[in-house]
Structure 1
Amino acid sequence: MGEKWYFQSGPEGDVVISSRIRLARNVGDLPFPDLMSARQRAAFIQRVQAAVENAAFGEGLQLRYVDVGALDQSHRMALVERHLISLEMAKAGGGLLLSDDETVSVMLCEEDHLRIQIMGAGLCCEGCWQLADRLDDLLDEGLHFAFDERWGYLTHCPTNLGTGMRASVMVHLPALERSGYLRSLINSAYKLGITIRGTYGEGTSAEGSFYQISNQLSLGLSEKQVRDNLAAVVRQLAAEERRQRAQFCAEDPLAFEDRVYRALGVLENARLLSHREVIDCVSQLRLGIAGQVVEKLDFFTAARLLGETGANSIAAAHPEAQSARERDRIRAQIVRDILGRERRAREDRPPAEGRENQ
């Protein structure tokens, strides 16, 4: 089983956390999911499973089926936490196709019949698109997606008409947030058809200065235009974020270091840690790694700290932890264990050995 994609760091990893390509698809001989009967839903899910079994994905891709409706609340919300299903699916149930490394996930019977989603670390929209396009073609052979020559792929929500594609990137923008420039940049991006939202999308806050950037519409644009437009905005934001970080550090290097090491001290020593505390501290830690203030840690470590400490992930993995306090204790232990393993690994590693995106 491969390592989960969110434990990794990719291109532009100092600012860009992850990339995602999502395709909304429907089949022409069924009503949209909100109008389907329970029998139609069950038959459709079986139909998709048969299409997956018959598709020639190759050795590198295996998808397993997850009945979201059969999961308990903590396991459902853990999937939401990892951006694998929507909050709506967590509430209503549905089906999920999932790869072992969680790069590939396909929601069944959410707003559309299928939501094909590919995720990867760093700025990697092109790589995500190539895999999504391949999966789309293979599934289309067995399911025959609804397509109109004028409107493109037919979707439940009109904003997804056309390519049916939503490209999004998760970015870390603490310096832009601190500078006060972020609001004007959000307004400028909106005029270009790009939306900047909170960590979990529309209506959510940007915890730890982590923002989600995505295209607003796909009608009238090619898949390449959508990807290129998004990548251009992300690169511009990343360049400005780096400039603001450098300015912050140059203006008061002691205050910059103090923020970073206070956060590291909490992570290394706290016995109780809330999920929000970890997010805020890792946000500061990432600043220190990018600014080479913290030389003994890297973005891989930061990714693992975030990936293993989600509130619902801990609840799912530790059902015996009935109280928030007990989960905070477990979270603090997980954080100390991760940092301890990384410290020992670096002590044992030859001086010349390193990893990308440090």
Structure 2
Amino acid sequence: MTTGFEKLAQDGAARLGVIRTPRGEVRTPAFMPVGTAATVKAMLPESVRETGADILLGNTYHLMLRPGAERVARLGGLHKFMNWERPILTDSGGFQVMSLAGLRKLTEEGVTFKSHIDGSKHMLSPESSMEIQRLLGSDIVMCFDECPALPAEREAIARSMRLSMRWAERSRAAFGVRPGHMLFGIMQGGLERDLREESAEALKAIGFDGYAIGGLAVGEGQAAMFDCLDYAPGFLPEDKPRYLMGVGKPDDIVGAVKRGVDMMDCVLPSRSGRTGQVFTRRGVVNIKNARHADDPRPLDEACSCPACRSYSRAYLHHVFRAQEMISGMLLTWHNLHYFQEIMQGMRAAIAEGRFAAWEAMFHAQRAEGDIPPL
């Protein structure tokens, strides 16, 4: 089976589509749960699939350090290793090197850095990132790039973006021809419209199976991110998937899809689940708050996830306070279920040409706030 993207419908800038891979189809708009170290924390792979996820994200940086890409390859590849037979996207490792690693040194060749785990020294380049991702066996491979934190001087953003474009060309060459696997380029350029356009033109000239919008959700705020997304997706090819990296909160996701984005990923639903923060259609609930201690009602009576179907707010409050593992499991499941419910709602709305009405309802429900205390 060949890989590819098909746009099925469009409503405004919002797009409905499907990414086809030998391991299955990915319905877009798609939210990808993050399986940092070959696991979505507190979830079984079967449970992640039950939430409606078609694809997971794995982290090149974390997996190269532990357990090692060669070991994963010897054990049958990442899909077999983590018991997830559907599509996997791996990031390039660039963002984690910049944000997590110690004593890093950036050159034209790549980045040398010390592991945040044990201080061991490593080198990542476009070529080594492509080789690590090949060993992992991911279906969608990301180019190696540099992701500068915002705010930054325009000159630094331009210099970084042009380095990433040279690395994109090297990534493309190193990736080679791999039937059944896709390579995505990553647009950079900060909040500068002309630099974003320059980056997009460079990537299109190289040619990729999909295109990511990188360098957002790094501290610039939602208004600035949306301003950029008002034009950035339009610089990318209409017939290829568009992936906004590292986003985000529910209203970030809806706003991105409204502006033409097809794919997103974020640690937020799983990380928040482990810290007692719950996303519902009526906004955010902090289960640690004392108001839930005697509340027999579910988190969200309209939700069909196990946390809402079988457990009360009082119980969820108790197990969180008692630091029981089931707390992170149930709250993560709920959050991932809700995020996938958002994606399904948007896909149906785009197909039926009622995205604006769906979006208005989404914001109106969230503005109501949580149910009143008993």
| Shorter-chain TM-score tier | under 0.3
Q: TM-score, normalised by structure 2?
A: 0.26
Q: Which has the higher contact order (CA 8 A, sep 6+)?
A: 1
Bigger share in strand: 2
Bigger share in helix: 1
